[in-house]
């Protein structure tokens, strides 16, 4: 008998209005690829929230299974690197945007997109990190490549109570940085200090129109917010510092001036997780295994069921999710 599995599908009606339904899929419904993976865990990232709510055009073909990251076991492969039973992780590459993604019992993908499950991790812990955490690691690595170390001064993390922010704080604190966490949820101060934040600031301080230059407050930053927040962060960056920009939770615009770049030698480092080359991914996952404290990761993540994905998607775009959400898939 042909095996069926549930899939969360985003589709459009005749008026091009987006809607979500749960369908029964078989392997015949999956897209082209040389590796089929039984999905054991996935997550709800901000981008998944945008995809499911339709708040931004993340889904670019219909119908489509969203879900930009997963961990699971290879169920079949004609790719030379992978065999049945291998444990794998996937982040990005257009999965959940143009290629059927993680919110289904199985996925068929290009084997080049997969990385091996990092040593010591399970599907659940890898997805507690997920794309948000792997992106936080890419941002930390970019600051390091720029030559910055904790000796340079404090680092600011915006969107601190979110997924990227929470993992970035835990990583940077473990690496010895003095972390300033910017959040709209100051009631989460104990949570952020538990992750390693040394100071908490209210994001209101950074959300208004930015001056070209302001008092120097930090040497480095990880920004998942964009817009006027990133403009303010840049204007407050010390001479020779750098900010790794990865997100747009406040907005995609950047109403900034060139003053921090040309008068303080500040650098703006762009972070993309989706098309990042495999060597960088492998290094990021290796570093996560080394530099992310397992107990802190456990405190960042909570687990939900497949049927709760849509609620979590709405919650994350409304800024109501703290840390990371792991989805365990039905066996």
Binding site for ligand NDP (CB under 6 A): 45-47, 131-132, 135, 159-165, 183-185, 203, 207, 224-225, 229, 246-250, 271-274, 316, 319, 321
Supply the minimum distance, in Å, between the C-beta of residue 69 and ligand NDP.
9
| C-beta nearest to ligand NDP: residue | 162
Which helix (DSSP H) or strand (DSSP E) does residue 212 occupy? none
């997920």: which residue's tokens?
Answer: 130
Supply the minimum distance, in Å, between the C-beta of residue 162 and ligand NDP.
2
CA dist 324 and 159 (Å) reads: 13
Between residues 263 and 282, which has the closer beta carbon with respect to ligand NDP?
282
Supply the minimum distance, in Å, between the C-beta of residue 80 and ligand NDP.
28
Between residues 144 and 202, which has the closer beta carbon with respect to ligand NDP?
202
Residue 69's contacts (CB-CB under 8 Å, 6 or more residues apart) are 42, 43, 45, 89, 90, 91, 92, 95, 96, 102, 127, 130, 131
Supply the minimum distance, in Å, between the C-beta of residue 197 and ligand NDP.
11
Residue 296's contacts (CB-CB under 8 Å, 6 or more residues apart) are 170, 174, 194, 195, 196
Q: Mapped to the 3 state alphabet, what secondary structure does 279-330 carry?
A: HHHHHHHHHHHHHCCHHHHHHHEEEEEHHHHHHHHHHHHCCCCCCEEEEECC
Are 94 and 131 within 8 A, CB to CB? no
Length of the chain measured in residues: 331
CA dist 144 and 128 (Å) reads: 24
CA dist 18 and 189 (Å) reads: 37
Q: Are strands 87-91 and 114-116 parallel, antiparallel or unpaired?
A: antiparallel
Between residues 106 and 203, which has the closer beta carbon with respect to ligand NDP?
203
Between residues 105 and 196, which has the closer beta carbon with respect to ligand NDP?
196
Supply the minimum distance, in Å, between the C-beta of residue 234 and ligand NDP.
15
Between residues 31 and 189, which has the closer beta carbon with respect to ligand NDP?
189
Supply the minimum distance, in Å, between the C-beta of residue 251 and ligand NDP.
7
Supply the minimum distance, in Å, between the C-beta of residue 240 and ligand NDP.
24
Between residues 75 and 172, which has the closer beta carbon with respect to ligand NDP?
172
Between residues 77 and 224, which has the closer beta carbon with respect to ligand NDP?
224
């Amino acid at each position: 008998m042909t095996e069926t599995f549930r899939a969360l599908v985003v589709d459009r009606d005749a008026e091009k209005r987006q809607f979500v339904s749960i369908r029964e899929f078989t392997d015949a419904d999956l897209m082209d690829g040389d590796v089929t993976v039984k999905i054991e865990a996935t997550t709800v990232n901000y981008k998944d929230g945008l995809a499911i709510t339709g708040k931004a055009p993340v889904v670019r073909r219909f119908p489509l299974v969203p879900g930009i990251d997963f961990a699971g076991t290879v169920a079949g492969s004609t790719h030379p690197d992978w065999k049945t039973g291998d444990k794998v992780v996937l982040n990005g590459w257009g999965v959940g945007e143009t290629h059927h993604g993680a919110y289904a019992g199985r996925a068929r993908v290009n084997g080049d997109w997969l990385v091996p499950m990092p040593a010591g991790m399970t599907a659940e812990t890898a997805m507690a990190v997920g794309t948000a955490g792997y992106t936080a690691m890419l941002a930390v690595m970019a600051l390091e490549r720029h030559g910055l170390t904790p000796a340079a001064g404090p680092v600011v993390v915006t969107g601190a109570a979110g997924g990227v922010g929470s993992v970035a704080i835990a990583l940077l604190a473990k690496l010895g940085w003095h972390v300033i966490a910017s959040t709209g949820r100051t009631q989460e101060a104990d949570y952020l200090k538990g992750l390693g934040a040394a100071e908490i600031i209210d994001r209101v301080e950074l959300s208004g129109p930015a001056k070209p230059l302001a008092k120097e407050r930090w040497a480095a930053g990880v920004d998942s917010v964009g817009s006027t927040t990133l403009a303010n962060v840049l204007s407050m960056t010390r001479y020779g510092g750098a900010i790794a920009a990865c997100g747009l939770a406040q907005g995609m615009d950047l109403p900034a001036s060139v003053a921090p770049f040309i008068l303080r030698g500040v650098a703006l480092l762009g972070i993309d997780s989706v098309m990042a080359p495999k060597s960088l991914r492998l290094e990021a996952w290796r570093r996560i295994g080394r530099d992310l404290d397992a107990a802190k990761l456990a405190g960042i993540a909570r687990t939900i069921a497949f049927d709760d994905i849509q609620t979590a998607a709405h919650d994350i775009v409304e800024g109501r999710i703290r840390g990371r959400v792991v989805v365990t898939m039905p066996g």
